[in-house]
Amino acid sequence: MIWGYARVSTQQQQVHLQLDALRTYGCQEVIKEKAAAPYIRATQS
| pLDDT tens column, 3-32 | 999 998 877 788 899 999 999 999 999 999
Question: Structurally, how many domains does the chain consist of?
Answer: 1
Distance CA 33, CA 31 (A): 7
End-to-end CA distance of the chain: 14
Band (pLDDT 50/70/90 cuts) for residue 35 is confident
DSSP line for 22-39: HHHHT-SEEEEEEEETTE
Q: How far apart are CA 37 and CA 23, in angstroms?
A: 28
Catalytic position from the list 3, 5, 9, 35: 9
9 assigned to active site: yes
Q: In which domain, by residue range, is 11 found? A: 3-44
* pTM of the complete model: 0.66
